[in-house]
């Protein structure tokens, strides 16, 4: 069994912080997710130039990152499962399907971690069961190769209530699912924020020392996303995994710089917004 430490050291800073930009949305067959990433080569280059810690990609797009020359590329977090739960109406058959030999593909692509869903949808126990099985399979393989396993516990509202990828901010449900991810062997947790962000320290506590990176979710205003990120870091989060709030922003590089200042340097919301506006250069 190989240690995950070398790859985690590439993923996290010396202070144990990480900003992962997720642009794996095309994996999920949802047209609205393609906004800002229609041209993946350009999108990836834009993010690489802004220098976050990691970029989250699928197997089909990871080559666009790993063929960029130079030493300073962000680490690759490889998405390992494709799901069909993100439309405004749920299909009759739900799945979250692992790619074949996911860990071997991650090793070949020089990934620093793999990411897999732990989905909890109302009245869909079969889907939850499939996710638990996926994680169990990946855990065994990841340990052989020293590949960190990032589990993404995702608690969703009833589709008829909100429709299409709307998360449930109930901290009790988030805590329970985060803990299940930890119990299944997660090396890193990628979790939703709760409705009352000032209570997020409870999620950090229940993760039992496993670093928690907080998801960004749908697009929000600059003030909201920056203020929320500052509070989440103050609550003990180890970092963030944001996608649409970066790549769909008019200034993706500026937003990346602002968020990196919060995650790695403890910047205030005011300072981060100044950076975003170009006033803190």
pLDDT tens for 117-133 read 999 999 999 999 999 99
At residue 28, the pLDDT reads 84
Question: With contact defined as beta carbons under 8 Å apart, do 18 and 11 qualify?
Answer: yes
What was the pLDDT predicted at 279? Answer: 57
Place of tokens 């169990």: 136
Mean pLDDT of 76-90: 90
The mean per-residue pLDDT over the stretch 93-117 comes to 97
- Distance of alpha carbon 233 from alpha carbon 66, whole angstroms: 30
Residue 281's pLDDT is 47
Which residue, among 223, 231, 224, has the nearest Cα to 263 in the 3D structure? Answer: 231
* Secondary element (H or E) of residue 213: strand 212-215
What's the pLDDT at 280? Answer: 46
Task: Check whether 170 has a pLDDT greater than 50.
Answer: yes
Q: Considering the entire predicted model, what is its pTM?
A: 0.94
* Cα distance between residue 246 and residue 48, in whole Å: 12
Task: Find the distance separating the first CA and the last CA of the chain, reported in whole Å.
Answer: 46
Percentages helix, strand, coil for the chain (3-state, rounded to 5) are 45, 20, 40
Determine the average pLDDT of the residues in 67-84.
93
pLDDT of residue 219: 79
232, containing H or E segment: helix 222-234
What's the rounded Cα separation, in Å, for the pair 32 and 244?
A: 11
pLDDT at 150: 98
CA–CA gap between residue 119 and residue 180 (Å, rounded):
11
> CA quadruple 30, 36, 38, 43: dihedral positive or negative?
negative
Q: What is the pLDDT of residue 36?
A: 83
Task: Rank 63-72, 99-108, 218-227, 243-252 by mean pLDDT and report only the highest.
Answer: 99-108
Count of CB atoms situated within 10 Å of the CB of 274: 16
Kindly provide the b/e burial profile for residues 53-71, where b requires at least 16 CB atoms within 10 angstroms of the residue's own CB.
Answer: bbbbbbbebbebbeeeeee
CB contact set of 239 (below 8 Å; sequence gap of 6+): 12, 17, 18, 19, 20, 53, 211, 213, 214, 233, 263
Q: Rounded mean pLDDT of 222-228?
A: 94
pLDDT on residue 165 = 58
Distance CA 243, CA 27 (A): 13
């Amino acid at each position: 069994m190989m240690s995950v430490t070398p790859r985690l050291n590439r993923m996290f800073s010396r202070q144990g912080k990480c900003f992962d930009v997720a642009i794996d949305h095309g994996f999920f067959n949802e047209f609205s997710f393609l906004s800002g990433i229609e041209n993946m080569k350009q999108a990836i280059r834009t993010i690489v130039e802004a220098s976050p810690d990691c970029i989250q990609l699928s197997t089909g797009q990871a080559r666009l990152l790993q063929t960029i020359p130079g030493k300073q590329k962000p680490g690759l977090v490889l998405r390992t499962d494709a799901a069909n739960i993100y439309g405004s109406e749920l299909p009759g058959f739900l799945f979250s399907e692992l790619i074949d030999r996911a860990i071997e593909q991650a090793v070949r692509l020089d990934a620093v971690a793999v990411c897999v869903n732990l989905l909890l949808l109302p009245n869909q126990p079969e889907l939850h069961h499939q996710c638990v099985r996926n994680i169990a399979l990946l855990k065994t393989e990841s340990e052989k190769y020293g590949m960190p396993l990032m589990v993404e516990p995702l608690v969703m509202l009833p589709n008829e209530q909100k429709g299409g990828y709307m998360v449930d901010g109930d901290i009790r449900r988030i805590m329970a699912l985060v803990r299940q991810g930890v119990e299944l062997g997660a090396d890193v947790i990628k979790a939703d924020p709760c409705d009352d962000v000032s209570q997020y320290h409870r999620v950090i506590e229940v993760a039992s020392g496993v670093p928690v990176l907080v998801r960004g979710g749908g697009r929000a205003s600059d003030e909201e996303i920056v203020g929320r990120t500052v509070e989440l870091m103050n609550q003990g989060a180890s970092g963030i995994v944001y996608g649409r709030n970066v790549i769909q922003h008019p200034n993706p590089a500026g937003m990346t710089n602002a968020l990196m200042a919060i995650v790695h340097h403890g910047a205030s919301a005011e300072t981060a917004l100044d950076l975003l506006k170009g006033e803190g250069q």
